Amino acid sequence: MIESVTGRKSLLFYWMDTQGTFDNNSTYQQCMTVFALSTIVSSVQIYNVVDNIQEDALQHLSLFVEYGRMAMEQPHNFGKPFQQLVFCVRDFKNQEEYEFGENGGTDFLDNILQTNPEQPEEIKAVRELLREYFEDIQCYLLPHPGYKVAERQSFRGHVKG
């Protein structure tokens, strides 16, 4: 928890990390419940994926979001039910086409969420649902940290600063 006072406003940040989805110890229902509840209580939901945003990740996300929306009463009385979705694409490998960071992520996400008449309706519906339910959708492309970091047994995620 971080408290910040800026000018006359006092802000409180509460960071919450949830378990990953679709591991060997969780049922589909458990994954949906964890993601839906964390999305409901979060102003920013970060969806961490590796290498790329695959179609199955978008479809899972749309199911989680629909499940969360159903858990809320009268979701459209106050606008879109969820605030911000951020895709964090780590170990991104296509830097020649999209630069790392927010700018490349924006271009990449625009391409991923684009619809066209040739797409099946199910594919288009997933993209429309995400746009309909989130006020803002962003994407950040992150490079691989390097094998010295990734394969070092002693690395615990801490950096000197």
CATH of the domain at 123: 3.40.50.300
Amino acid at 22: F
Mean pLDDT by 10 residues, the chain (161 residues): 68 73 79 80 89 90 78 64 92 94 98 94 92 94 79 64 52
Do the domain assignments include residue 3? Answer: no
Alpha helices in the chain (DSSP H): 28-41, 55-71, 102-113, 121-133, 147-150
Q: Is residue 159 part of a domain?
A: no
* In-domain check, residue 40: yes
Q: Structural domain of residue 92, as residue ranges? A: 24-145
Looking at the domain assignment, is residue 133 inside a domain?
Answer: yes
C-alpha to C-alpha distance for 33 and 118, rounded to whole angstroms: 33
Q: So what's the pLDDT on residue 35?
A: 79
How many domains are contained in the chain?
1
Task: Examine residue 157 and state whether it is found in any structural domain, yes or no.
Answer: no
Residue 151: inside a domain: no
Global confidence as pTM: 0.79
In a domain? residue 9: no
- Predicted pLDDT of residue 160: 63
